[in-house]
Chains A and B, each alone.
Chain A
């Protein structure tokens, strides 16, 4: 371990209370070249830390770059710039052996349980391979016991029966449990979950999240939870990072970010979530009509400025650096005071 961890965004992570530092992502950037000199910045200067036993949620809409960040951390996508450290050591993926060793610590769960299991193989095949690759030589009986233990861990019981099934014989939730089990077979310390429940029915999402939460607790995993659903992040995460156009625009403790969003984009996200206790208020008021339309991203300046109700010339000219809001919160906005005042005003209105 190298001394004290850097503090991304200049603030202490709300997740750091849970356990020791597991993974550091510093200034990750990813550019895709489209030809004709066009470059897409999928991620720009993204920094955050993951801690053992803590959940960090990365929230954003599609195209915000959140999945690219996960792929970079998983070693499935090359970095354009930046460094990833695991337990204080820079990550080395130069050979298959090094990559395999890294996979023994960092695992990713995919979004679509219908695509992430190979239709020609049984559940047993899906679990035996990672056990063999990551848990050393095993006898047949040990392998069998290992598969059963994994299935029981994700509550697919009776394990012996589930092991023989093919993916098409399982429901979406059961398939996603197999995906979890496969990731756990490598005995990782860091789990990257890329929208693990968004393809599932609302009624089983909660069960899956509580399973993930339980696994995080029992196995002391550092969990990165990627989602577009900021409400689930409120219940599930310690720290929330909000991403827009490849940048982290706000970070802080989950409850605070979702209840008093500082950045105008976070405010928009929160306002867009259905609110059953305040029937039809935002739907009918047309509050975000101007902000919702068009997904334009500014070429320069603050990426959110084309949609932002508070944008002025400064926003369009210069990209704001993270501004501390409190000891564990920061937001990248020039006009945090204006946004905060506006948020208080609308909150008051809806209470009247």
Chain B
């Protein structure tokens, strides 16, 4: 069994679907942060059988929880201070996301208007359906990330 040491200050993203940690790494733009990141893939889990874990040693404010919630709101966010878990953050689906995903509708104005932000709004929280602000194209993050 592989052991990765404790972090002093930062956050641990637990219960990531196995194999999805690198997607989350990309979307949180962790490559742009100058800090220690541990990516643990296929860790054993009682709840999920297999899971991924990300450990990031940085200020919690640097984490975009909206993006994380959009990708998978079942992820557990543990906030670490002085080597201890001081908070577990609940993730809720953001009402709106900006430039996280792109609208793929070729008839949408975003396909031709340069530098237009790609904005999706939460159209149905129960069914986890987002729609493009401009053309209402449907997007279901759960379908993409499952």
A and B held together in a complex: no
Which residues on A are within 8 Å of B, measured CB to CB?
Answer: none
Q: Which residues of B contact A (CB under 8 A)?
A: none
